[in-house]
Structure 1
Amino acid sequence: MSLNDSLGDCTAAGAGHVAQQINWYGQHQDAPVADSDVLAMYEAISGYQPGNASTDVGATLQDALKYWHTTGVGGNKIAAYAQIKATDLATIRACISLFGAVYTGMNFPASAMDQFNSGKPWTVVSRSRIEGGHCVPIGAYDASSFTCVTWGKTQKLSVDFFERYFDEVWTVLDLDWLTAQGVSPAAIDGAALNANYEALTGQPGPFPTVAPSPAPAPTPAPVPSDADAALVAAFKAWEAAKGFAA
């Protein structure tokens, strides 16, 4: 839950969920993010004061991303982030595939809570009132749906639902998505990421790179042994004796 059952801290909870996912799939490490880390992030980005319900007002995704980039949540920082058009489904799917997840904001309809509580996918229900904003990370997709993480569970949602209610999408680049060899699970190498990052921002890329493997040393020609030399000399003498020598 990351406290999101009692606080409006979905932006911080969502960051914690992404961090755990990236560590698991990128580094094969179970790296939980403590509730205290999520709370510290939420306090910093929203002004929330524990015990004062009037300060529990939520936070913007952009403020959460800035904190996540500069301070981190539970020891996990992102190296870069970029906004994607919420209508660009092809790029959204590509970013999920290449970088592990997208971090999203939505207008949450009342029908979605009923569907969540019933264990059903989120689908469009006409004339359902909007309860407020909600942040969820999306880490999987297929042709007709996406899968997000929220309130301690994975939750499927139809593409129609996404197109109706989601209006903010960010890709986040976490170095823990790269293996120790500098290659992501989708085989994107650090050198290529750095080149693209520098082209976009004018700043050096933050990603580790892998030094090219040195070319193998040429194999030297075998040196004839003494026995080989003696055999060759004997064969030449035999040729000469038989009149075969050139």
Structure 2
Amino acid sequence: MSVRKLGKRPARHDARTFRLGAPLAARLIVPPTAVNWAPNDVWPVWCNDTIGCCTQVSVASAIRTWTGAAQAPVLLSDAQVIDNYSAASGYVPGQAQTDQGGIELDVLNRWIREGYARPGQPGRDYLTAFGVVDVRDRQSVMRAIAALGGLYIGVQIPNYIMQTGGDWALNAAGDQTVVGGHAIWLHGYDSDWLHFNTWGERKRMSWDWLTTYCDEAYGLVSRQNWLGINALSPNAEDVDALVAEMRAA
């Protein structure tokens, strides 16, 4: 079992953040019963075994998923993930006291405004828009993953997850003590499980685990990575129309 670090600070909610439920339902697909945008990817740990950079690991995971499905895979280096963590959260390499984790809302807002380092040209990655998704609404979760390429979430981790391997499922016999917050990028689902990577491993999460432990979830729109030259997603969805709907709400 790999070394595991957490790093999601308490959720900060902002009433001005777009709500994606209605626009997703109005503008995008009827979700398929199952989808997985990164079924066979090998995932780096991206230093989340030594520092609490999970909010930026999830950014790197989103970019890897989007580009692998829609264009050509773009894989951030460890150094770029650390640089992005430093820029968004104030981490100074070698100064352990500055490793305080990140606030997801701040990470996403900065991604829009200032971008993050990535390989190749132009060397900066910019998010187009994001909005809140209610994880209790399974159709909204499915639609966000199927049409937007994934879901950026924050969860509270019970101690039994840190002590065991395998799937993330409710475990009444395990130690329920919450030991901290963790950021995760969900890149697939089926009727029983959600698919994600964390700490360099492919994982599955049960739907009831998600609704029990998730305290924030965001659908992300990336014109740079996810949309083709015709502004459509790999499923030929008009995501620009979704952004317009979000901004008009």
Partner of 1:139, secondary structure, is strand
Write the mapping of 1:158-197 to structure 2, written as runs, cut at 5 A: 158-175=206-223, 176-190=225-239, 192-197=241-246
Higher helix proportion, which one? 1
1:123 equivalent in alignment to 2:169: yes
- Given that residues 145 and 157 in structure 1 are in contact (C-alpha distance below 8 angstroms), is that contact kept between their aligned partners in structure 2? yes
Find 2:63's aligned residue among 5, 16, 19: 19
The RMSD of aligned alpha carbons is: 1.6
CA distance in 2, matches of 1:17, 1:180: 23
What's the CA shift for 1:182?
A: 2.1
Partner of 1:92, secondary structure, is helix
State, as a whole percentage, how many aligned pairs show the same letter: 28
Aligned to 1:57: 100
Give the TM-score taking structure 2 as reference length. 0.74
- Given that residues 140 and 147 in structure 1 are in contact (C-alpha distance below 8 angstroms), is that contact kept between their aligned partners in structure 2? yes
Write the mapping of 1:1-246 to structure 2, written as runs, cut at 5 A: 1-27=45-71, 29-73=72-116, 74=118, 75-116=124-165, 120-126=166-172, 127-175=175-223, 176-190=225-239, 192-200=241-249
Aligned residues: 196
Partner of 1:177, secondary structure, is coil
- Given that residues 221 and 239 in structure 2 are in contact (C-alpha distance below 8 angstroms), is that contact kept between their aligned partners in structure 1? no
Q: Which runs of 5+ in 1 are unaligned?
A: 201-246
CA distance in 1, matches of 2:88, 2:226: 25
Q: Give the counterpart letter for 2:208 in structure 1.
A: D
Q: Give the counterpart letter for 2:128 in structure 1.
A: A
What's the CA shift for 1:76?
A: 2.0
CA distance in 2, matches of 1:6, 1:110: 18
CA distance in 2, matches of 1:106, 1:190: 27
- Given that residues 146 and 159 in structure 1 are in contact (C-alpha distance below 8 angstroms), is that contact kept between their aligned partners in structure 2? yes
CA distance in 2, matches of 1:62, 1:113: 25
- Given that residues 107 and 133 in structure 1 are in contact (C-alpha distance below 8 angstroms), is that contact kept between their aligned partners in structure 2? yes
CA distance in 1, matches of 2:190, 2:62: 19
CA distance in 2, matches of 1:23, 1:199: 28
What's the CA shift for 1:198?
A: 4.3
Partner of 1:160, secondary structure, is helix
Q: Which runs of 5+ in 2 are unaligned?
A: 1-44, 119-123
- Given that residues 115 and 121 in structure 1 are in contact (C-alpha distance below 8 angstroms), is that contact kept between their aligned partners in structure 2? no
Q: Give the counterpart letter for 1:169 in structure 2.
A: A
CA distance in 1, matches of 2:125, 2:240: 22
Greater relative contact order, per chain length (Cα 8 Å cut-off, separation 6+): 2
CA distance in 2, matches of 1:171, 1:191: 14
Residues 126-149 of structure 1: per-residue CA shift (max 9 Å, x gap): 242111000000010111111111
Q: Which has the larger radius of gyration?
A: 1
- Given that residues 115 and 122 in structure 1 are in contact (C-alpha distance below 8 angstroms), is that contact kept between their aligned partners in structure 2? no
The verdict on how the C-alpha distance between 1:81 and 1:31 changes in structure 2, with shifts beyond 3 A counting, is same
CA distance in 1, matches of 2:209, 2:240: 37
Greater Cα offset, 164-173 or 125-134: 125-134
